[in-house]
Structure 1
């Protein structure tokens, strides 16, 4: 029987900020090939969890691991294994999508030939006629595709997404979800913080609900219907569960 490698893991993670406990004993694991959707309202601790995996927050207690390495012990090595896509992808508006891709790859120490860069953008769904247009002309969905191409070109082991479908129309959000499924199919572990219950149900293998820094419920996405997920989420949000 083949064992599944855990690529992202939080073990009894505690994070305090100005005497406030933001993360309170979080245990979380995301294996290779899995999309994990982390749901919760503002202040639940979703973004702090992702920031801690990135090494931007120092754990007060416990730790996070990327393939059994912690950011505190080997920050450069750990970040090399991670791709990060925030809610608003920071691209240079005066450059084209293609130029942004090659530039950010070069910053990460990866030289990507022009033909390969075009192919990478096509695989994330950006139409060929947009590759050489300035990013200032792009929709948010198009910018997200360039960000996904940059993340994919890095050949990371795991991908961290923070509200990636916020502000996208339903068609763009659905397209983005399919691209994430393809990324997971290639063996990446994907941790996605989101408010979007529909997107979480559509794309995730596992779903966790956070509240006040704790993981209050966790389940396989295929075992819960959308209306049941909504009921669970709202029950926790209203303090009924």
Structure 2
């Protein structure tokens, strides 16, 4: 579903992502962990076509994002740290607008079902988005992905700023979508939530993928220890 082949990006000679090789299959979520500047967001932006690679290729369902960005993005839903909703529209109206923007003309019952599946409280469907908490905004983002029938999710720090209850609900939604065959690539700082939601966890350091672990093979404590070891090695290399 997603594939990076020697995917690299430099900004004014500074390497942000260096030779990333990775695949994400149907029904799999890969979480990228790493410090700020490790290359997590850069990788996601390359898959979205927001950036041009310096070298290598980003593929979505076998299609090059660089040569055919419109076709590649047809299959993708993007959920950033804060979903950008129109504040003077309701959650329902935002969903209808973004669904139509994606070429999906759904009836009222179908749109409400998407919001319900995403976990937005029913009494919030027709309230202005300006009154929503961040967790509610993220749920509308998930509803947009459902309305679009997205096969792939690209998520950039979607858990940042969520309270524990909202984060737990969001991760439950992601696990359910994974079980339905949706593929996902998520950048996060949250080691423990990454282990809960991911099939595999990749650790990025200084633009390089330094480790990939099956989430089921490590405890939360083991993952934390492994992550800190990689970060410590990076500091030693820089010394």
Band the TM-score falls in, shorter-chain normalisation: over 0.9
Structure 1 residue 239: deviation in Å?
2.2
**2:83 corresponding residue in structure 1:** 89
Structure 1 residue 217: deviation in Å?
0.6
Q: Deviations over 1:184-210 (max 9, x none)?
A: 112111100000011101111100000
Structure 1 residue 238: deviation in Å?
2.2
**1:46 corresponding residue in structure 2:** 40
SS of equivalent residue, structure 2 residue 64: coil
SS of equivalent residue, structure 1 residue 235: helix
1:1-241 counterparts in 2 under 5 A? 7-239=1-233
Aligned residues of 2:34 and 2:205 also touching (Cα < 8 A): yes
Structure 1 residue 90: deviation in Å?
0.2
SS of equivalent residue, structure 1 residue 155: coil
Structure 1 residue 160: deviation in Å?
0.3
The number of residue pairs the alignment matches comes to 235
Q: Deviations over 1:126-158 (max 9, x none)?
A: 111110011111111001000110112111221
For structure 2, which runs of at least 5 residues remain unmatched after alignment?
none
Structure 1 residue 15: deviation in Å?
0.9
SS of equivalent residue, structure 2 residue 116: helix
Counterparts of 1:223 and 1:72, CA distance in 2? 35
Aligned residues of 2:58 and 2:66 also touching (Cα < 8 A): no
TM-score under structure 2 length normalisation = 0.96
Counterparts of 1:49 and 1:112, CA distance in 2? 32
For structure 1, which runs of at least 5 residues remain unmatched after alignment?
1-6
Q: Which runs of 4+ in 1 moved over 3 A?
A: none
Counterparts of 1:199 and 1:145, CA distance in 2? 17
Counterparts of 1:54 and 1:128, CA distance in 2? 32
Structure 1 residue 80: deviation in Å?
0.6
**1:3 corresponding residue in structure 2:** none
SS of equivalent residue, structure 2 residue 89: coil
SS of equivalent residue, structure 1 residue 168: coil
TM-score under structure 1 length normalisation = 0.95
